[in-house]
């Protein structure tokens, strides 16, 4: 029998098929990323304790009313783009030198001796607690305290010098809105705060390490290198973002 030749497959329509698929994917997909501000909601408290008095100087209140008018630290502000300047001022004013006469949060300076003393003290406390057979939660709490001091120790080493400037632990930024305030303005306030904190941290990180804050953040997200984690911790200690969103009254 004669051998039959196998006919070649015509691939001319392959391009058409591929184009069809390509156009389908072009139409059905969106390129935009999900961008957002991450915030934590405070835990629900069961037993209500009377609120602690906080000095006026430690509060940066940003208020917005139902007519979308702004007030920052008691001053009416018509341009929301200026909020970030106020935030920067709030952190910077007393950073180099404390001045009791102004209305900005104080800084404390933590030296390496203080850090060492605290670590030693907590070590002893943990030992005695373990000997007594205290509740596991108590010991865990002490360990978390220890971690905090450990972070400070590492941060001071990175920061250089003998002292680590630390803002008053109560210093906070609070956003007070009303029921009818538009979300657009609320988001604008969040943006301004985020930009101010970015600017502060970026300046510091550029001065110390000669790198961009964003670069370090992205690199840490990808590679999880410990050295980057320490750098980020230092920045968080120098410029902590304590943002309180106050629930509007009904």
Partner 1 sequence: MSKFKKDSGKSVPGVNTSSLPDIVFMLLFFFMVATTSKEVDPTVQVTQPVGGKTTDLTPYKQRSEIDFLYLGEPRNKARLEDFKMGYALSLDNVVQATADELYTTNAVGQWKKDKFEEKKSRVKVPIEGVITCLKADKGAPTGLIFDIRKELQAINALSIAYAVRDNGNI
**Contacting positions for partner 1 (CB under 8 A):** 11, 14-15, 18-19, 21-22, 25-26, 28-44, 177-184, 186-188, 190-191, 194-195, 198, 221, 245, 247-248
- Look at phi and psi of residue 68 and say left if phi exceeds 0, alpha if psi is from -120 to 50, else beta: left
Nearer to partner 1 among residue 10 and residue 49 (C-beta): 10
CB of 137 to partner 1, least distance (A): 17
Nearer to partner 1 among residue 135 and residue 187 (C-beta): 187
The number of beta carbons lying within 10 Å of the beta carbon of residue 241 is: 16
Q: Are 244 and 171 in contact (CB under 8 A)?
A: no
CB of 125 to partner 1, least distance (A): 28
Nearer to partner 1 among residue 137 and residue 179 (C-beta): 179
| DSSP element (H, E) containing 143 | helix 136-159
CB of 162 to partner 1, least distance (A): 33
Output the six-digit token pair for 215: 């670069």
Cβ-count burial of 155 within 10 angstroms (0-12 exposed, 13-18 middle, 19+ buried)?
A: buried
Alpha carbon distance 182, 67 (integer Å)? 9
CB of 150 to partner 1, least distance (A): 23
Nearer to partner 1 among residue 25 and residue 47 (C-beta): 25
CB of 151 to partner 1, least distance (A): 21
Nearer to partner 1 among residue 150 and residue 194 (C-beta): 194
CB of 35 to partner 1, least distance (A): 4
Alpha carbon distance 130, 229 (integer Å)? 30
Nearer to partner 1 among residue 27 and residue 100 (C-beta): 27
CB of 12 to partner 1, least distance (A): 8
Q: How far is CA 88 from CA 81, 84, 136, 196, 241, in A?
A: 13, 6, 41, 6, 12
Which residues are CB-contacts of 143 (< 8 A; sequence separation ≥ 6)? Answer: 126
Nearer to partner 1 among residue 186 and residue 209 (C-beta): 186
Output the six-digit token pair for 229: 């984690």
């Amino acid at each position: 029998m004669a051998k039959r030749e196998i006919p070649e497959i015509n691939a001319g329509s392959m391009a058409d098929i591929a184009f069809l698929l390509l156009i389908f994917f072009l139409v059905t997909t969106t390129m935009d990323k999900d961008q957002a501000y991450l915030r934590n909601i405070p835990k629900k408290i069961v037993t209500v304790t009377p609120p602690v008095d906080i000095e006026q100087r430690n509060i940066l209140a940003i208020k917005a009313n139902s007519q979308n008018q702004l007030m920052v630290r008691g001053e009416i502000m018509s341009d929301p783009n200026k909020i970030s300047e106020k935030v920067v001022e709030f952190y910077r004013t007393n950073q180099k030198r404390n001045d009791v006469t102004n209305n900005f949060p104080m800084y404390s300076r933590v030296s390496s001796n203080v850090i060492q003393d605290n670590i030693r003290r907590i070590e002893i406390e943990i030992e005695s607690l373990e000997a007594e057979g205290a509740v596991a939660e108590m010991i865990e709490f002490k360990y978390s305290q220890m971690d905090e001091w450990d972070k400070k120790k590492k941060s001071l080493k990175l920061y250089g010098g003998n002292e680590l400037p630390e803002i008053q632990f109560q210093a906070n930024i609070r956003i007070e809105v009303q029921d009818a305030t538009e979300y657009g303005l609320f988001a604008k306030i969040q943006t301004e705060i985020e930009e101010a904190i970015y600017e502060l941290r970026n300046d510091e990180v550029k001065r110390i390490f000669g790198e961009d804050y964003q670069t370090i953040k992205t690199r840490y997200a990808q590679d999880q290198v410990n050295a980057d984690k320490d750098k980020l911790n230092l920045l968080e200690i120098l410029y902590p973002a304590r943002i309180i969103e106050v629930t509007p009254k009904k």
